[in-house]
């Protein structure tokens, strides 16, 4: 049975990360497929599940939160990992010196881990194209503090994403025995 990489995206960056994770898992001997989280109705055909979501205002995309709510029981019965696509820019630390990967975890990450029984979580840098922002996004961009962190560009760190996926593959191999 394959591994499912279910993702929730608004602008597409998270889908690209999900596809990269799935390719790495497949290359490592764990065939994986990607699906938008909102389209998944049953997890019984999957050995393991990775759930990835874009982060907006500190929260996972609604499709990912609904996915966890809908499939909590099935998720807890199989190996699960979570990833978030959030921070933007090339800085690794914020103005207060805090690691952006840590501060960009969704506010509810502990609850998401508890609800899914996740074995691990990751935060990856994302991407932003301001020309594609919806009205709410454009409003956020008018707040000076938000403008500091909403850096335009594609900051997805493909080697970091691949390394994490290979770590997941190793754990799956160990589980399979």
Footprint of ligand FMN on this chain (CB under 6 A)? 9-14, 54-58, 85-88, 104, 126-128, 133, 137, 140
CA-CA distances (angstroms) from residue 39 to 30, 128, 159?
Answer: 22, 24, 28
Least distance in angstroms from the C-beta of 56 to ligand FMN: 4
Q: Return the number of the residue (31 or 58) whose C-beta is nearest ligand FMN.
A: 58
- How far apart are the C-alpha atoms of 52 and 21, rounded to whole Å? 10
- How far apart are the C-alpha atoms of 113 and 51, rounded to whole Å? 11
Least distance in angstroms from the C-beta of 111 to ligand FMN: 17
Closest CA to 65 of 18, 8, 126: 8
Least distance in angstroms from the C-beta of 43 to ligand FMN: 22
Q: Return the number of the residue (161 or 172) whose C-beta is nearest ligand FMN.
A: 161
Q: Return the number of the residue (9 or 121) whose C-beta is nearest ligand FMN.
A: 9
Q: Return the number of the residue (19 or 27) whose C-beta is nearest ligand FMN.
A: 19
DSSP conformation class of 39: G
- How far apart are the C-alpha atoms of 70 and 29, rounded to whole Å? 29
- How far apart are the C-alpha atoms of 75 and 89, rounded to whole Å? 33
Least distance in angstroms from the C-beta of 166 to ligand FMN: 22
């Amino acid at each position: 049975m394959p591994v499912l990489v279910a993702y929730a995206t608004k602008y597409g960056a998270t889908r690209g990360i999900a596809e990269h994770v799935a390719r790495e898992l497949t290359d490592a001997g764990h065939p994986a497929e990607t699906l938008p989280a909102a389209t998944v109705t049953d997890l019984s055909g999957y050995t393991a599940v990775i759930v990835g979501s874009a982060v907006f205002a500190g929260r996972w995309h609604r499709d990912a939160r609904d996915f966890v709510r809908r499939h909590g029981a099935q998720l807890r019965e199989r190996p699960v990992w979570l990833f978030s696509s959030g921070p933007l820019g090339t800085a690794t630390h914020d103005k207060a010196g805090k690691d952006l990967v840590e501060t960009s975890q969704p506010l509810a990450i502990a609850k998401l881990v508890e609800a899914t029984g996740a074995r691990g979580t990751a935060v990856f840098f994302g991407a932003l194209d301001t020309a594609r922002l919806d009205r709410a996004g454009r409003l956020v961009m008018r707040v000076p503090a938000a403008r500091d962190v909403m850096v335009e560009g594609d900051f997805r760190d493909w080697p970091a994403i691949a390394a994490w996926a290979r770590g997941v593959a190793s754990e799956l191999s160990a589980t399979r025995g």
